[in-house]
Amino acid sequence: MRKSKEVPLTLLAALALSTTGCEPPPHSCVDSTGHLAPESYCQNQATGYRYVYGGSSGGHIGDTVVGASSSPDDAGVSRGGFGHGEGGEGASGSGGE
């Protein structure tokens, strides 16, 4: 009788969860106005620079980082939904007049 070379699906699932669940969210070093700064500024704790988590930018120094959070726990968490942002159209119920 031959032994199977197949790996049980549960083992693969456990491996996948263990390798992806512990990674910190992506972070960027920004200045007080939210513009991308060199990583070394935050590593050296330069005044006026801080890390933000998640978000997006053009990837170049000086680009504005949008949609980021100051807390790694909130990175990637989206509130609201399509057409329902804070301060956006329809937020105060005055749309359609």
- pLDDT at residue 20, rounded to an integer: 52
Q: Give 59's contacts (C-beta < 8 A, 6+ positions apart).
A: 36
Residue written as tokens 């988590």? 53
**10: which 2 tokens?**
């549960």
What's the rounded Cα separation, in Å, for the pair 75 and 25?
7
- pLDDT at residue 84, rounded to an integer: 45
Regions of the chain with pLDDT less than 50: 77-92, 94, 97
Task: Please report, for the chain, the start and end positions of each structural domain, with discontinuous segments joined by +.
Answer: 25-69
What's the rounded Cα separation, in Å, for the pair 69 and 53?
5
What's the rounded Cα separation, in Å, for the pair 90 and 93?
5
At 17, give phi and psi (nearest 5°): -65, -35
80 neighbors 63 (Cβ within 8 angstroms): no
pTM for the complete prediction? 0.53
- pLDDT at residue 6, rounded to an integer: 64
